[in-house]
Structure 1
Amino acid sequence: MDPIKLEDLLQVWEEQVAPLRRDLGRALDNPELDAHLHRATVFLDRYDAATDAQDRSVLADIPRSAAFLSDGSAKITDCNRPGAVAFGISKGGPFVDLPFEPEDRALLQGVIRKVAGGRAEQRVTLRIRSSITGSPVILRVSPVVSKAQSLALVVSTELVWPLGFELIVQEAFGLTPAEVEIVRGITLGLPIKDIAEARGRSAETVRTQVRSILQKTETHSQSELVRVVLGLMDVAAMPSEAPSRSVPRGGALEPRDVRELWLADGRRLTWIEFGDPKGQPILFMHMDYGLIRWPASAERHARARKLRVIVPVRAGYGLTDLHLRAADHLGAVSQDYIAVLDHLAVQGAIALPMGADLRFAMNLSLRRPDLISGIVGAACQLPLRHAAQYERMDKWQRFILSNARYAPKVLPFLVQAGFSLARRLGKDVFFAQVNGNSRADIETFDRPEVREAILIGSDVCLSRERSAHEAFARECIGSEKDWSDVVRRCIVPVVLLLGDQDPQTPMETMRELAMDYPQLTMRFLPETGQLLFFKEWPLVLEEVELMIARLP
């Protein structure tokens, strides 16, 4: 459930699960897996990227053990929340507030001075008895690097539940509030007798409740229950948001107003526009990454060449509302495009899709031939036919898309973990990790204009304020269904410009699929990948203008 381990999961999945790909759907279609994914998702919902370690107090990394910082003087330098709760201390409070006997406090104070001053071992472990509970407390004292003063970090075995953790446990395992309080007592090491006394119940009643708890949590002993709860406590205690470090600000891109339209069913649609407001309409489709912006020079070029670029933001991205789960994804997305174009009174647009957005452009041309007069695709995908075509993809693309086809139940969790990883690493680092095998894409992304357009444009997909992981999962599942009939019935002119280093749709696969659709014009551009449009936008727009010139 730790998103930073997603690549480890990918490796295990590739080695042990992928060979069963054809039977994966049946193998994963069982109630136990559904329950497991639900629990895992509850915790993943509360796990997100943290800020850089240097921007956080060392105490922020200790969410459950009572801990404090001290230089060995008469005052506590700082403490975490568990330290305040378990020891009754506070930042800047007196050292004598620690619940230990005077001689034990003096021993601890001397050890802190030695460790903080570098006159002792790197870590010293002490065993001191608490004057509150009468139980022994283990303390570990270690030095802390600080420019301002010499400090020691004291971490104890006294545990405190993070704020709100009881609600997380209750939701994850379906426990009653009374059962959660029993889990808390067991986790903190209290005997059943003490838990029963505190709750005004008999020990036998509490033991019966414990048996129910073990069944609900799918654990087999109290020690296993403690291990599960403590192992998940750190995950649940992580902050839910982190500042974005990847997106450059104050660059060459002009700000664009987000426009909105409210539908009769209460859903909100949004879109942006740039270029010449009176020019030839271009319907740009932003792919599942939500790439709604072009490089700054490309946006200026659109205005100079009298092109009106309309970019609807799809369902679940930005401020556009998701469709109902039962909605047909292809039909519902196509209807949203129709709603925006009809609202703007636009007809005869050239559609410019990327990736699997080709299905939306073609379906739109079939449903409303008056709206779309031609399609110019950039690094587009065609419907895949068999497992071997997934095997040719790079591992990250294969990991997501093969599961979209063969294990759609698992995909939403995997996508959400990927989004959490992207937020934790930063979108630029995550992009390099996912697309590292496409030299063309990495070189394209390194261009300042391209990087700015991608990172700012994809804010509708992933930013500090939002995460479109549910919409992304729906997009992937939809793209891996069979939409070959849509391709065959499409009658508007279609030109596909393809990359020779596309990590998702290699040349061999596209040439293989091209034989099924002789009506499509395909051309491979050298040294391009999935970011073909962002690298070769002058060639793409030249192709758009040629198509406009050929129209009646």
Structure 2
Amino acid sequence: MKDDSLDPMIRDAYAIAAQPERLMKLLTVLQKPAADNESDLQPHFANVTELLTEIDPSVGDDFSTYARDLEGNGDHLIPPDLSLNRTMTVLSVDDQIFKSAHLVLGQSIPDWLFGVDGESHAQVEKLLEEPGKAGPAIVRLYVDRDDDRGVLFAAQSSGEDDISLDFRVMRLRWHAVIGSAFAQSLELTATEEQLAEHLVNGLSVTEFAAQRERALGTARNQLKALLRKLGIGSQTELISLYAGFSNAFAMAETNDPNLLPPRSSHQLTLADGSHLPFEIYGDPKARPVLYLHATIDGAYLTTRQQDAATGQNLRIIAPWLPFYAGSKMANTGLAVVDEFVERLVHLLDQLKIKRCSVVSARVAAPYGMAAIRSHPNRFCGLVMAGAILPAGEDNDFSHLAMGYRAPLRLARIAPSFVRLYFAAVSTMVRRGKSMAYFKSIYGESTADMQTLNRPDVAELMQRSMKRTFEDGYESTAQQAILTASDWSKWCRKLEVPVTVICGAEDRLAPPDMVEKFCDRYGFNLIGPLPDVGSLAIQQVPHRIFSEAAKIHMD
């Protein structure tokens, strides 16, 4: 290869500064090794990264275009959990949610499904009067004859001639900051705020009374007083009011990030003055699980993930990985793993947690593996939700999708390309062109592309990107460098169990390679699971957290 053979790559690299989407063209060129002197590209990659930052200096500021860029996100909704026609005949049903209801396709629903108070019936009738115009409405459905709590659903009518009613489980939950602003703006008392939180989280007045050790009549009177103060007539109207307030608050936060705390929910200050930011979800009395997040997902959880953890009586402690959310590390590459694991031990000490299991998502696997190997007395087992595999010297990453292959291959010889890669990606997202990036990684998996189009996942990605690129691109560069490394030393001589959950559509760690990996080190393999890809932590969180709950603490 001639000395000037790198010139086209250099030109393509500088073209990214003006058109970040040209990153995809450069990835195509860089799929296979081209020359021994590819490391000569490194200073050029560094220059382009600086140019991108100067041209588009909004690093970490606004990723609101991410959700709008997803294909079909504007009109596409996740499939309904229950669909009925005008005569209340079942068109489709989620058998997991309505398992005890024994709803049958083509048959009418039982009378008790809408409850006995008539409120849900009235809301459905209104939707049928103006199909496609009214709603969505919040209704309470009962999943079996003995259900006295009910489950909240968002109901929407569609169609003109063949009208259908679609019901989707409400994923709404009370947010501490938004809830406080809601209560303050409406001048609620402390008791009224607690009651509102209780109802928004899907619990009943009966449960509220029992929790506070008060008579049911007292709780009902408190509810009547609350509804009267707000000028509304029902619990579902209260929940609708909170949902509207929450949505408006979140929209305002997109334009004014000062409305919500800019930092993480929690932050541990270490002896050297550095910080470990982290999030916590669930009941403080529940069983603790350490969750190590993937590259773009961040330490945030969707409501679906939180529900899955709560269903297993788990409390999730989710630290941000090295260089995320403004955190600093003394090392890079493999050396940062041991440094981070020691920080995790300090975190457990701070939270007074003696021992816990670990769940890792995709590229966080090396951190989870190092934690259980170095401190089996503190970390009692690992569940890998999707996986990356240790990269030996003979690994050319040919099994990976294009969007992963070139960055990982060049991470070994030109780390500055990895920073350029994520600088271009973040700029593409802010300019509303993120799908080219995601297709380059997940495009071969129908399950993953559908997951990326889910509204709850889009919102999570958008929030996480602000923290991921808060101080530049070191966080994602570290993840790529780590993924391109051989971290198998932490897989040997383990004293606690490891379970790997593998998706049949995982293109980052194909099932046949995962099976060999598990056989080599004696790990338990679950899968390959159908309709699951690399984003297993979003697709089957109930399965993942149920496996974490099975790990013995002693």
TM over 0.5: yes
User: Quick one: which of 462, 476, 489 aligns to 1:485?
Assistant: 489
Q: Corresponding residue for 1:36?
A: 44
Tell me how far 1:449 sits from its aligned partner.
3.0
Structure 2 residue 212 is the aligned partner of structure 1 residue 392: no
User: Quick one: which of 493, 497, 500 aligns to 1:496?
Assistant: 500
Matches of residues 164-243 of structure 1 in structure 2 within 5 Å?
none
SS of 2:444's equivalent? coil
Kept in 1: contact 2:308–2:545 (CA 8 A):
no
Q: Judging changes above 3 Å, is the alpha-carbon distance between structure 1 residues 501 and 493 closer, same or farther for their aligned structure 2 residues? A: same
- Amino acid corresponding to residue 407 of structure 2 in structure 1: I
Give the root-mean-square deviation of aligned CA atoms: 3.1
Q: Corresponding residue for 1:294?
A: 301
Structure 2 residue 79 is the aligned partner of structure 1 residue 259: no
- Amino acid corresponding to residue 64 of structure 2 in structure 1: S
Q: For 2:333 and 2:490, how far apart are their aligned partners in 1? A: 21
Tell me how far 1:430 sits from its aligned partner.
4.6
SS of 2:288's equivalent? strand
Q: For 1:357 and 1:37, how far apart are their aligned partners in 2? A: 26
Q: For 1:337 and 1:34, how far apart are their aligned partners in 2? A: 34
Tell me how far 1:456 sits from its aligned partner.
2.8
Kept in 2: contact 1:351–1:361 (CA 8 A):
yes
Structure 2 residue 415 is the aligned partner of structure 1 residue 437: no
User: Quick one: which of 320, 330, 341 aligns to 1:334?
Assistant: 341
Kept in 1: contact 2:411–2:484 (CA 8 A):
yes
Matches of residues 381-530 of structure 1 in structure 2 within 5 Å?
381-385=388-392, 390-425=397-432, 430-432=437-439, 434-462=441-469, 466=470, 468-530=472-534
Deviations 1:128-185 (A, max 9, x none): xxxxxxxxxxxxxxxxxxxxxxxxxxxxxxxxxxxxxxxxxxxxxxxxxxxxxxxxxx
Q: For 2:327 and 2:521, how far apart are their aligned partners in 1? A: 34
Kept in 2: contact 1:292–1:313 (CA 8 A):
yes
Q: Corresponding residue for 1:356?
A: 363
- Amino acid corresponding to residue 39 of structure 1 in structure 2: N
- Amino acid corresponding to residue 32 of structure 2 in structure 1: P
Q: How many residues of Structure 1 are paired with residues of Structure 2 in the alignment? A: 352
SS of 1:502's equivalent? coil
Q: For 1:281 and 1:435, how far apart are their aligned partners in 2? A: 32
User: Quick one: which of 1, 16, 19 aligns to 2:32?
Assistant: 19
Q: For 2:465 and 2:62, how far apart are their aligned partners in 1? A: 17
SS of 1:357's equivalent? helix
Deviations 1:287-327 (A, max 9, x none): 22243222213313433532110001122211323445599
Q: For 1:253 and 1:452, how far apart are their aligned partners in 2? A: 14
Kept in 1: contact 2:396–2:409 (CA 8 A):
no
Structure 2 residue 316 is the aligned partner of structure 1 residue 309: yes
Kept in 2: contact 1:334–1:363 (CA 8 A):
yes
Q: Corresponding residue for 1:245?
A: 65
SS of 2:419's equivalent? helix
Q: For 1:505 and 1:326, how far apart are their aligned partners in 2? A: 21
Q: For 2:329 and 2:411, how far apart are their aligned partners in 1? A: 19
Q: Judging changes above 3 Å, is the alpha-carbon distance between structure 1 residues 348 and 243 closer, same or farther for their aligned structure 2 residues? A: closer
Q: Judging changes above 3 Å, is the alpha-carbon distance between structure 1 residues 532 and 382 closer, same or farther for their aligned structure 2 residues? A: same
5+ residue gaps, structure 1, are: 51-238
5+ residue gaps, structure 2, are: 1-13, 69-169, 177-263
Q: Judging changes above 3 Å, is the alpha-carbon distance between structure 1 residues 268 and 404 closer, same or farther for their aligned structure 2 residues? A: same
Q: Corresponding residue for 1:371?
A: 378
Q: For 1:280 and 1:428, how far apart are their aligned partners in 2? A: 38
Q: Judging changes above 3 Å, is the alpha-carbon distance between structure 1 residues 36 and 444 closer, same or farther for their aligned structure 2 residues? A: closer
SS of 1:297's equivalent? helix
Tell me how far 1:45 sits from its aligned partner.
1.6
Q: For 1:384 and 1:281, how far apart are their aligned partners in 2? A: 31
Q: For 1:446 and 1:9, how far apart are their aligned partners in 2? A: 22
Tell me how far 1:400 sits from its aligned partner.
1.9
Q: Corresponding residue for 1:215?
A: none
Q: Judging changes above 3 Å, is the alpha-carbon distance between structure 1 residues 426 and 286 closer, same or farther for their aligned structure 2 residues? A: farther
Q: For 1:429 and 1:402, how far apart are their aligned partners in 2? A: 20
Kept in 2: contact 1:363–1:490 (CA 8 A):
no
Tell me how far 1:432 sits from its aligned partner.
4.9
Q: Which has the higher contact order (CA 8 A, sep 6+)?
A: 2
Q: For 1:350 and 1:303, how far apart are their aligned partners in 2? A: 15
Q: Corresponding residue for 2:55?
A: 47
- Amino acid corresponding to residue 41 of structure 1 in structure 2: T
Kept in 2: contact 1:268–1:321 (CA 8 A):
yes
Q: For 2:60 and 2:385, how far apart are their aligned partners in 1? A: 36
Percent of aligned positions with the same letter in both sequences? 21
Tell me how far 1:265 sits from its aligned partner.
1.7
- Amino acid corresponding to residue 172 of structure 2 in structure 1: A
Kept in 2: contact 1:400–1:414 (CA 8 A):
yes
Kept in 2: contact 1:379–1:496 (CA 8 A):
yes
User: Quick one: which of 273, 279, 289 aligns to 1:282?
Assistant: 289
Q: For 1:4 and 1:347, how far apart are their aligned partners in 2? A: 52
Tell me how far 1:420 sits from its aligned partner.
1.9
Deviations 1:506-534 (A, max 9, x none): 22332343342234434321111111111
Kept in 1: contact 2:63–2:466 (CA 8 A):
no
SS of 1:392's equivalent? coil
Structure 2 residue 362 is the aligned partner of structure 1 residue 542: no
Taking structure 1 as the reference length, what is the TM-score of the superposition?
0.57
Determine which structure has more spread, i.e. the larger CA radius of gyration.
Answer: 1
Q: For 1:356 and 1:326, how far apart are their aligned partners in 2? A: 13
Q: Corresponding residue for 1:180?
A: none
Tell me how far 1:328 sits from its aligned partner.
1.7
SS of 1:283's equivalent? strand
Kept in 2: contact 1:283–1:310 (CA 8 A):
yes
Kept in 2: contact 1:4–1:421 (CA 8 A):
no
Tell me how far 1:37 sits from its aligned partner.
3.5
Q: Judging changes above 3 Å, is the alpha-carbon distance between structure 1 residues 453 and 19 closer, same or farther for their aligned structure 2 residues? A: closer
Tell me how far 1:409 sits from its aligned partner.
4.1
Tell me how far 1:429 sits from its aligned partner.
7.0
Matches of residues 86-165 of structure 1 in structure 2 within 5 Å?
none
- Amino acid corresponding to residue 14 of structure 1 in structure 2: T
Q: For 1:515 and 1:304, how far apart are their aligned partners in 2? A: 31
Tell me how far 1:6 sits from its aligned partner.
4.8
Tell me how far 1:461 sits from its aligned partner.
1.3
Tell me how far 1:41 sits from its aligned partner.
2.8
Kept in 2: contact 1:400–1:415 (CA 8 A):
no
